[in-house]
Amino acid sequence: MKILVLNCGSSSLKYQLINMIDECVLAKGLCERIGIEKSRLEHSPTGKDKCIVEEPMNDHTDAVRLVLNALTDAAQGVIQSLDELSAVGHRVVHGGEFFSDSVFITDEVKKAIEACCDLAPLHNPANLIGIHACERLMPGKPQVAVFDTAFHQTMPERAYLYAIPYKMYEKHKIRRYGFHGTSHKYVSVLAAEMLGKSYNEAKIITCHLGNGASVCAIDHGKSVDTSMGFTPLEGLAMGTRSGDIDPAVIAFLMQKEGISAKDVENLLNKKSGVLGLSDVSSDFRDIESAAKNGNQRAQTALDAYHYRVAKYIGAYTAAMGGADAIVFTAGLGENSASTRAEVCSYLSYLGITIDAEKNNCRGKKVDITTSDSKIRVFTIPTNEELVIARDCKALLG
């Protein structure tokens, strides 16, 4: 069984073709600059040379067509024909309150995804375009939607409701949804295995620290709270996103700077976070190296970042009445030993002790605590594409 996993952004498309017999990646790649000039496809077939295709892509249908051509190409391809594909799995960012699990895509499902476009205006329309493109190019091929929000649909009301008039929730569905669900689920399942505990009995806190970042509390196999909310702007400070701020700042900025609500939204999403604090970069490698070279603002940005991650871990330990394990994942969580060490330096009150030597690792599944640590701390590489492919396989039966 071979599954094609697609992740469509507004002007990009990432893909992986996964052989579900051994869960190996047969090929992966990226289409960039869809709909603008100089669009290109970078195709990496496993065991063969990477190739770049520079061809105009007017829309996502063009992009999907080029990807399918690359996958079946006589030289750079990895399958003979599209008949070998059992299904296409689409990452869909927002499933609102409609979806608490992955589903086969039907007309009704597409309508529900469309109804969530207001909640994720940058992502859901692009996801729908990708779905339509596949329907056009591979009619009848089973297609599955896997939602970033689905895993968090188990949050209780007390966690997902904002303390604003309840009718705003009823009327506009303003509530906390949470994101990165596939990643939190994937690493928490592995963490339970590493603990030697049943997933349905463990209390796990997962920290997905990439460009976007969120923390999740998983109690007895269910997401009970997570730091992102109505949109992926809430919660931790991130590469360019502010995370939590006093909502009064928005009106204050509009008045004092004479800017629109849209401008403030842009400032909080694109110019804030560690980029805004440091004025160096949104990339943590740049900020860590600037801080090492004595840039005080870069150091302040890192300090603020670590402090907030630690605060959420503390909050979620309280929410669950303890924790068995804390997991670090995604670009920064998997690769930055100093981030893990700095965050955990706040957590000795929980009886957590980090083994500096074990923590000196990158991109590996490792328990980084000493044997007497009261809570285990793991680094676990995430694999969102594999979760999507596994969900397709499960649905296909």
Residue 143 or 240: which CB sits closer to ligand ADP?
240
Among the residue ranges 210-218, 225-233, 306-314, 344-352, the one whose residues contact ligand ADP (CB under 6 A) = 210-218
| Residue 324: active-site member | no
Q: Tell me, by CB under 6 A, how many residues bind ligand ADP.
A: 13
Contact present, 55 and 24 (Cβ < 8 Å): no
What residues between 277 and 336 interact with ligand ADP by CB under 6 A? Answer: 283-285, 288, 330-332, 335-336
Which helix (H) or strand (E) element contains residue 377? strand 376-379
Kindly provide the residue ranges of all beta strands, DSSP E only, lying in 319-361, ordered along the sequence: 325-329
Q: Is 210 in the site for ligand ADP (CB under 6 A)?
A: yes
Residue in 279, 184, 290, 284 with CA at minimum distance from that of residue 239: 284
Residue in 73, 36, 30 with CA at minimum distance from that of residue 56: 36
Closest approach of ligand ADP to the CB of residue 211, in Å: 4
- Indicate the SS3 state at residue 277: helix
Contacts with 26 (C-beta within 8 Å, 6 or more apart), sequence order: 2, 17, 18, 19, 45, 46, 78, 79
Q: Which spans in 180-336 are helix H?
A: 181-195, 248-257, 261-270, 273-278, 284-292, 296-320, 330-335
Closest approach of ligand ADP to the CB of residue 343, in Å: 13
- Indicate the SS3 state at residue 65: helix
Residue 301 or 320: which CB sits closer to ligand ADP?
301
CB-hemisphere CA count at 13 Å for 363?
Answer: 2
Residue 89 or 331: which CB sits closer to ligand ADP?
331
Active-site hit among 62, 148, 225, 391? 148
What residues between 170 and 199 interact with ligand ADP by CB under 6 A? Answer: none
Contact present, 316 and 178 (Cβ < 8 Å): no
Give the CA radius of gyration of the chain.
21
Q: Give strand pairing partners of 215.
A: 207
What residues between 225 and 244 interact with ligand ADP by CB under 6 A? Answer: 239
- Indicate the SS3 state at residue 226: strand
Which helix (H) or strand (E) element contains residue 104? strand 103-104
Closest approach of ligand ADP to the CB of residue 351, in Å: 27
Q: Is 383 in the site for ligand ADP (CB under 6 A)?
A: no
Residue nearest to ligand ADP (CB): 331
Residue 50 or 285: which CB sits closer to ligand ADP?
285
What residues between 54 and 113 interact with ligand ADP by CB under 6 A? Answer: none
Closest approach of ligand ADP to the CB of residue 361, in Å: 11
Sign, CA torsion 128/132/137/142: positive
Q: Is 211 in the site for ligand ADP (CB under 6 A)?
A: yes
Residue 66 or 275: which CB sits closer to ligand ADP?
275
Closest approach of ligand ADP to the CB of residue 331, in Å: 2
Residue 188 or 336: which CB sits closer to ligand ADP?
336
Closest approach of ligand ADP to the CB of residue 310, in Å: 18
CB-hemisphere CA count at 13 Å for 367?
Answer: 19
Closest approach of ligand ADP to the CB of residue 196, in Å: 28
Residue 190 or 330: which CB sits closer to ligand ADP?
330
Contact present, 13 and 60 (Cβ < 8 Å): yes
Residue in 39, 26, 126 with CA at minimum distance from that of residue 78: 26
DSSP-assigned letter for residue 322 = S
Interacting residue ranges for ligand ADP, rule: CB under 6 A: 210-212, 239, 283-285, 288, 330-332, 335-336
List residues with catalytic annotation.
148
